[in-house]
Amino acid sequence: MDDKIKDVVNEKLKLQIDSVINGMTFTKNFRSPTAEEWYIFLPNYHDPVTGGAAGKTIIHYNLYDTKEIFINTTIIFDDPKLHKADVHHLVYAVGDEIVNRLVGYADTLLSVHSGENSYNAEYKH
């Protein structure tokens, strides 16, 4: 029987994604009662102006009463290498991992700003 399942991400890209995610680190820059800002450091990626973090994540908590918590998360990648269409899978995987690590299982609206790889997503748990 023919295997009809095809993997759209090649092995080289999978290794690159694993390497970047395993090397990803965060530094919290700012916190208020309703928001956090985190710098995102990725191996081989950086801000071309400062040489620092490849991007930042802003997490804004919308609190309605005491029953419902909704989170708006914005990820901004500053490295132009992450703006190219050929690394879309990497940007998506890193964005997903950032949400998993920093936001967890809360309902989240995600907005990723990364040139051609910009996208919006909704996480409902």
Beta-bridge partners for 71:
61, 108
Contacts of 89 (CB under 8 A, 6+ apart): 8, 9, 13, 17
pLDDT > 70 in the chain, percent: 88
pLDDT for res 34: 83
d(CA 11, CA 106): 32
The domain segmentation of the chain, as residue ranges, is 21-123
Q: How confident is the model at residue 125 (pLDDT cuts 50, 70, 90)?
A: confident
**pLDDT computed for residue 68 by the predictor:** 66
Quick check: 89 and 13 in contact, CB under 8 A?
yes
- How confident is the model at residue 38, as a pLDDT? 96
Backbone torsions φ then ψ of 122, nearest 5 degrees = -125, 130
Is 85:117 a contact under the CB 8 Å cutoff?
A: yes
Read off the tokens for 76. Answer: 């901004």
Instruction: Say if residue 1's pLDDT is above 60.
Output: no
Say if residue 74's pLDDT is above 60. yes
Prediction pTM value: 0.87
Q: What is the pLDDT of residue 65?
A: 60
Question: 14-73, pLDDT tens digit by residue?
Answer: 999 999 999 999 999 888 888 899 999 999 999 999 999 999 999 998 766 655 667 899
Q: Where are the beta strands (DSSP E) in the chain?
A: 25-31, 35-41, 55-64, 68-77, 108-113, 119-123
